[in-house]
Amino acid sequence: MTGPSGSIGDDELLGSLRAGDEEAFVTFVGRHNHSMLRIARSFVPSSAVAEEVVQDTWMAVVRGIGNFEGRSSLRSWLVGILVNRARSTGAREHRSEPVATNQPAVDACRFDEGGQWISPPQHFAQDVEDRVSAVELSQRIRSSLDGLPVRQRQVVMLRDIEGLNSKEVCDLLDISDGNQRILLHRGRSRLREELEAEFGKV
């Protein structure tokens, strides 16, 4: 490997990973481990279980890197292994939220054609210096995210925090695009409402 590890993309690490390069593996783990813990935690009941799932995933990566065919990005392949491991624990079996619920449909006018908020929560659009610290806001968002129904939390986590596209999320969670859109909109709407209720007014 050449150059600083931070300047090396995942695809550039692939050859070294396949060759069993320990430095490449350390770099890859350092780059993605924290994100993996966040994702795993959205599928399992505790941080301890999430850590076990992540460790199991890294072992699977070591065993399977030679079979990676490059049909997706290396990160998408990694997340796919992680999600499969997390789901296989059975901790969330039969607890997925169905599409048809008693919740009201989210008003489509709150989102643009790409599913993004047309306007952010008021708190984000205003000066935060005389309100709360960024740490407090981050903690509140984390708390609100944890309070979402399981499927909503998973979709919001994968789409908005991890940056996966809709197709990747549908494939990972084995849900339809329509289901994914509903869960995403409902999750985003609930987060927005909670944040605006706490931070939206002076």
Q: Is residue 2 left, alpha or beta, with left meaning phi > 0 and alpha meaning psi from -120 to 50? A: beta
- What pLDDT, on the 0 to 100 scale, is given for residue 135? 60
* Cβ pair 15, 74 in contact under 8 A: no
Residue 164: count other Cβ atoms within 10 Å of its Cβ: 21
The pTM of this model reads: 0.68
Q: Which helix (H) or strand (E) holds 34?
A: helix 22-41
For domain 7-88, give the CATH number.
Answer: 1.10.1740.10
Q: Name the least confident of 2-6, 36-40, 52-56, 67-71.
A: 2-6
Q: Name the least confident of 60-69, 94-103, 115-124, 189-198.
A: 94-103
Start and end residues for every CATH 1.20.140.160 domain found in the chain: 108-199
Inter-helix orientation angle 177-199/166-173, to 10°: 110
DSSP letters of 47-102? HHHHHHHHHHHHHHHHHHGGG---SS-HHHHHHHHHHHHHHHT-TTTT-PPPSS-S
- What pLDDT, on the 0 to 100 scale, is given for residue 195? 78
Q: Assign 141 a pLDDT band (cuts: 50, 70, 90).
A: confident
Start and end residues for every CATH 1.10.1740.10 domain found in the chain: 7-88
- Average per-residue pLDDT for the chain: 78
Classified by CATH at the fold level, domain 108-199 comes out as Butyryl-CoA Dehydrogenase, subunit A; domain 3 (1.20.140)
Nearest by Cα to 62 from 24, 7, 10, 6? 24
Q: Assign 185 a pLDDT band (cuts: 50, 70, 90).
A: very high
Residue 89: count other Cβ atoms within 10 Å of its Cβ: 17
163, amino acid identity: G
- What pLDDT, on the 0 to 100 scale, is given for residue 110? 60
Q: How far apart are alpha carbons 198 and 28 in whole angstroms?
A: 38
* Cβ pair 177, 124 in contact under 8 A: no
Q: Assign 142 a pLDDT band (cuts: 50, 70, 90).
A: confident
- What pLDDT, on the 0 to 100 scale, is given for residue 202? 36
Query: Torsion angle of alpha carbons 104, 105, 106, 111, nearest 10°?
Result: 180
In the predicted model, is pLDDT for residue 7 greater than 80?
no
Q: How far apart are alpha carbons 185 and 196 in whole angstroms?
A: 16
Inter-helix orientation angle 10-18/22-41, to 10°: 120
pLDDT in tens, 147-163: 899 899 999 999 988 88
In the predicted model, is pLDDT for residue 125 greater than 50?
no
In the predicted model, is pLDDT for residue 129 greater than 60?
no
- 111 Cβ contact list (under 8 Å, min separation 6): 117, 118, 185, 188
